[in-house]
């Protein structure tokens, strides 16, 4: 039984009306103008057009005219290759625009040659708006309202991937607030947050139009800036930032002066990722914290950082695998020429790299915190070596061993407990250990340093101040702290024979030590003339290559036996 056109059209309309989404049949009309042949109420409401009233071309419907949907619809009908096409698109409205999942399905032309298709629209505007809102929240720092690290990196990424990007035309500048943690500890987290907000406002006032400011870390801010005059633009920004920070910040009743460190990195063709640019600027920032001026990233810094990280990983394994050793450099009683003791020095013989200098791995150990386990190992090893020498000699030998303490150990470890444990496990007396620490270990936290040294004296251990003369120790510290020995830095000792100023400095240190009742040890003695000169000036002890290089434990014992025979 044949179906009449009216029945067929009625069936199509019933199908459209049954759909829970906006749908319509679009056909190609006269002069190629696309017409809405029939639609359901969902589509009519959305399109604000009723084909039943006649004359409903698609170019009068906003969603099909201004946006990409209309273009895709025309191409789909005229191309005729794909039976179905599905995509997501907006209606083209800048303000209050809507977003749809669009599906186009080709319909048979029947007896006529008119091209037809079914268009269905699933409104996902609410979902898109929610996603945009969540993304905007995800890219915003909740405290300052600035873009966060992710948003900053996306902006840098856009610059790097732009087809007109020119190497060196942009720079990333990282600004870090100094002393923020101390301020936070003293005035509290809420005042700290207030300081961060005020700091961000000051930074913003130093920027030019077009510069992008973001909060990239706790007290770290990143700036993306175009360089109109090259690198000097970035350095000038650093000076402007420091200028706006000269006025103290007012927090409640307090006035706090804040300084900053500034690191810069250029966007170059060698950099592919935004995170890498930011990391390069942070390398420069680290140097700025030491130099006190704005610093620019140098290409070898990343390589050096990777090398330090490699050293850190392998040093951790070496400590855990007991692969390090101690070498012992003799400490000579200058008036008698006999050996009074030894300074224990860490040595690392790497299986692939050979001998790794302490000047290379000790800073890595301090930066990574491995100095705590390294320091405890050195104490235990030195104490065991002393006990072993006693056993070999058949008596308690009249000598001591000096072990270096890092400022990190003083600040973060229970040094007295570590020394006590080393003494207990080896069975030696505390008087046979001398703990050597630098002036910086005292200056960083004088109160804690005082407590640590007093605890060490309670164990009958001796204390020596290493590299004396190179720091800023107050004379009052020397009076208050339980220090037994001043070690004169090799930089003064080495220049004595040809520099009257060095002689004057050494003589002054020796006079000060005598007045305070302290022993003295001169480092870096490399000639007989130096040894005689220091003896004549009244220095009590010396060490250096003139006497001996650092020795293996057995060689050190043999040296003591030969020298003290």
Least reliable range by pLDDT among 31-35, 123-127, 141-145, 384-388: 31-35
Q: Identify which of 70, 18, 69, 23 has the alpha carbon closest to the alpha carbon of residue 42.
A: 23
Decide if domain 140-297 falls under CATH 3.30.70.270.
Answer: yes
Helix (H) or strand (E) holding 155: helix 149-161
| pLDDT band at residue 215 under the 50/70/90 scheme | very high
> The domain 5-128: what is its CATH number?
3.30.450.20
β-pairing, 170-177 with 485-488? unpaired
Please provide the average confidence, as pLDDT, over all residues in the chain. Answer: 86
Q: What's the confidence (pLDDT) of residue 1?
A: 47
**Could you tell me which residues are beta bridge partners of residue 343?**
329, 402
d(CA 185, CA 161): 42
d(CA 224, CA 292): 22
364 versus 47: the higher-pLDDT residue is 364
Residue 121 has pLDDT above 50, yes or no: yes
Q: Percent of the chain beyond pLDDT 70?
A: 92
Q: What's the confidence (pLDDT) of residue 93?
A: 72
pTM: 0.59
**In the predicted model, what is the mean pLDDT of residues 513-538?**
92
Domain boundaries, the chain: 5-128, 140-297, 330-346+371-564
**In the predicted model, what is the mean pLDDT of residues 113-126?**
86
Q: What's the confidence (pLDDT) of residue 551?
A: 96
Give the 3-state secondary structure of residue 327. strand
User: How many helices (H) does the chain have, and how many strands (E)?
Assistant: 22, 21
Q: What's the confidence (pLDDT) of residue 110?
A: 63
Give the 3-state secondary structure of residue 409. helix
| DSSP designation for 52 | G
| DSSP designation for 422 | H
Residue 3 has pLDDT above 60, yes or no: no
**In the predicted model, what is the mean pLDDT of residues 159-166?**
86
Residue 81 has pLDDT above 60, yes or no: yes
CA 443 to chain centre: 25
Rg (CA), the chain: 39
Pick the CATH number of 330-346+371-564 from 3.40.50.300, 3.40.50.1370, 3.20.20.450, 1.10.10.410: 3.20.20.450
Q: What's the confidence (pLDDT) of residue 6?
A: 58
End-to-end CA distance of the chain: 129
Least reliable range by pLDDT among 129-138, 328-337, 346-355: 129-138
| pLDDT band at residue 468 under the 50/70/90 scheme | confident
d(CA 273, CA 230): 21
**Could you tell me which residues are beta bridge partners of residue 438?**
466
Q: What's the confidence (pLDDT) of residue 380?
A: 95
Q: What's the confidence (pLDDT) of residue 2?
A: 47
């Amino acid at each position: 039984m044949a179906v009449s056109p009216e029945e067929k059209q009625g069936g199509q309309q019933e199908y459209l009306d049954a759909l829970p989404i906006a749908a319509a049949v679009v056909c190609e009309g006269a002069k190629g103008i696309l017409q809405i042949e029939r639609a359901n109420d969902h589509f009519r409401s959305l399109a604000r057009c009723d084909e039943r009233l006649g004359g409903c071309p698609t170019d009068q419907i906003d969603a099909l005219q201004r946006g990409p949907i209309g273009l895709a619809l025309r191409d789909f009908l005229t191309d005729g290759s794909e039976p179905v096409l599905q995509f997501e698109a907006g209606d083209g409205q800048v303000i209050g625009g809507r977003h749809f999942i669009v599906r186009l399905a080709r319909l048979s032309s029947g007896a006529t040659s008119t091209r037809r298709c079914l268009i269905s629209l699933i409104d996902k505007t609410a979902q898109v708006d929610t996603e945009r809102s969540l993304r905007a929240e995800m890219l915003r720092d909740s405290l300052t309202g600035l873009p966060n690290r992710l948003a900053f990196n996306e902006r840098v990424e856009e610059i790097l991937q732009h087809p007109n990007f020119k190497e060196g035309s942009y720079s990333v500048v990282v600004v870090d607030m100094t002393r923020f943690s101390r301020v936070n500890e003293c005035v509290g987290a809420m005042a700290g947050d207030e300081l961060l907000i005020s700091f961000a406002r000051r930074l913003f006032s130093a920027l030019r139009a077009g510069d992008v400011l973001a909060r990239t870390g706790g007290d770290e801010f990143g700036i993306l800036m175009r360089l109109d005059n090259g690198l000097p633009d970035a350095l000038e920004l650093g000076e402007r930032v420091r200028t706006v920070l000269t006025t103290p910040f007012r927090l409640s009743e307090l006035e706090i002066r804040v300084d900053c460190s500034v690191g810069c990195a250029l966007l170059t063709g060698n950099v592919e990722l935004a995170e890498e640019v930011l990391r390069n600027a942070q390398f420069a920032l680290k140097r700025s914290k030491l130099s006190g001026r704005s610093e620019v990233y140098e290409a070898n810094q990343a390589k050096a950082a990777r090398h330090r990280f490699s050293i850190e990983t392998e040093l951790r394994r070496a400590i855990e695998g007991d692969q390090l050793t101690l070498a012992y450099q003799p400490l000579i009683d200058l008036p008698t020429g006999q050996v009074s003791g030894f300074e224990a020095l860490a040595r690392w013989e790497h299986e692939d790299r050979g001998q790794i200098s302490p000047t290379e791995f000790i800073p890595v150990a301090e930066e990574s915190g491995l100095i705590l386990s390294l320091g405890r190992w050195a104490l235990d090893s030195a104490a065991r070596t002393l006990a072993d020498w006693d056993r070999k000699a058949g008596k308690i030998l009249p000598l001591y061993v000096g072990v270096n303490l890092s400022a990190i150990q003083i600040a973060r470890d229970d040094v007295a407990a570590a020394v006590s444990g080393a003494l207990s496990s080896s069975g030696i007396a505390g008087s046979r250990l001398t703990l050597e620490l630098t002036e910086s270990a005292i200056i960083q936290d004088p109160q804690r340093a005082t407590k640590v040294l007093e605890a060490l004296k309670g164990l009958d251990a001796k204390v020596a101040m290493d590299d004396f003369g190179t720091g800023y120790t107050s004379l009052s510290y020397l009076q208050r702290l339980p220090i037994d020995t001043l070690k004169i830095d090799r930089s003064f000792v080495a220049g004595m024979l040809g520099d009257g100023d060095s002689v004057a400095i050494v003589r002054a240190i020796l006079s000060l030590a005598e007045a305070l009742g302290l022993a003295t040890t001169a480092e870096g003695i490399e000639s007989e003339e130096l040894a005689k000169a220091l003896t004549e000036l009244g220095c009590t002890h010396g060490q250096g290559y003139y006497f001996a290089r650092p020795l293996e434990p057995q060689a050190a014992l043999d040296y003591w036996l030969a020298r003290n025979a």
